Amino acid sequence: MPGPTLLISDLHLSASRPRTTTALLALLAGPAREASALYILGDLFDYWIGDEDVDDPAVRPVVDALAAVSAAGTAVSFMHGNRDFLVGARFAAAAGARLLPDPLLLDLDGVPTLLMHGDTLCIEDAGYNRFRATVRDPAWQQAFLDRPVAARREEAQRLRAISEHEKKSKSAEIMDVTPSEVLRMLRTHGYPRLVHGHTHRPALHLHPVDGYACERWVLPDWRDAATGLRAAGGRLQRF
Ligand code: LP5
Ligand code: MN
């Protein structure tokens, strides 16, 4: 019997919150070993300035533990989030992970399941979408990665502060997914199930689409606990 599939996102690992890293290392040394696959759906890291971050002393144990669980037989996959969109090939090789496109339609025990980080579902957040279009441009990314590590880190911290400031004047609705976009994604990419993170509003939503009762599972962040979804036998459950 193949083991379960685990799905997690929004850990926001950072040297300033070592307990979250400890919780991930426990998951990787324990339950993830019995799993056949582990999907990390973005924002594993609080921010990522380029794959030089693999050598950061706070990051190295995470990369090594991912590599160990991958070598032990759990297929590890990583999707970019809005914080760690610069995770690249060097991280993937060091962690034994496969980099996933967003969205990805996955056959999860026979149930078509669309996996996304979730930021692209927030189409009414105009400020964010302008920012995203810039930083996802390959030419912009290359120019950014050509800058010295210290300058990149400073820029990332500056941007974090701007983002926190901007969010204060945005409504909760604007920062949540746009319902019409959820429906559009389900219609164009996959019934009957969508799993995403990003909003930090864990829930199971039911969306009727063209006569199908589609499920939308929103992953929790790891601020308070190490939580996610466990798929086995065609069913999803929180862990
Ligand atoms: O992250 P979260 O959940 O708190 O908020 C997000 C959106 N914010 C972001 C920005 C990230 O927090 C910071 C980026 C991480 C660093 C990556 C390192 C390398 C890149 C460095 C690039 C210079 O994603 C937030 C959403 C919220 O989710 C809800 O969905 O609202 O979006 C914003 O707040 C963005 C602002 O609206 C617009 C910011 C404009 C910044 C302009 C400065 C110019 C920067 C130059 C590069 C484009
Ligand atoms: Mn996010």
Residue 152, pLDDT score: 98
Distance CA 213, CA 148 (A): 50
Query: Which tens digits make up the pLDDT trace of 140-170?
Result: 999 999 999 999 999 999 999 999 999 999 9
Q: Could you tell me the pLDDT band of residue 124, with boundaries at 50, 70 and 90?
A: very high
- pLDDT at position 212 over 90: no
Residue 190, pLDDT score: 76
CB 117 within 8 A of CB 195: no
Average pLDDT of the residues in 114-139: 97
Beta strands across the sheet bearing 193-196:
104-108, 111-116, 193-196, 212-218, 203-209
What share of the chain in percent tops pLDDT 70? Answer: 100
In sequence order, the 6+-apart residues with CB closer than 8 A to the CB of 66 are 28, 76, 95, 96, 97
What single-letter DSSP state applies at residue 13? B
Separation of CA 12 and ligand 2 centre (Å): 9
CB 35 within 8 A of CB 3: yes
Q: Which pair of tokens denotes residue 14?
A: 């950072």
160 Cβ below 6 A of ligand 1: yes
- pLDDT at position 191 over 90: no
- pLDDT at position 1 over 80: no
Query: Which tens digits make up the pLDDT trace of 23-52?
Result: 999 999 999 999 999 999 999 999 999 999
Q: Is domain 5-238 classified as CATH 3.90.550.10? A: no
Distance CA 146, CA 127 (A): 26
Separation of CA 65 and ligand 1 centre (Å): 28
β partners of residue 97: 76
Q: Break the chain into its structural domains and give their ranges.
A: 5-238
Separation of CA 29 and ligand 1 centre (Å): 32
pTM for this entry: 0.97
Residue 210, pLDDT score: 87
The closest of 200, 204, 194, 201 to 238, measured between CA atoms, is: 204
Tell me the residue type at 58: A
Q: Which of 59, 131, 158 is the pocket-test mutation for ligand 1 (most atoms within 8 Å of CB)?
A: 131
Number of CB atoms found within 10 A of residue 59's CB: 22
Residue 234, pLDDT score: 85
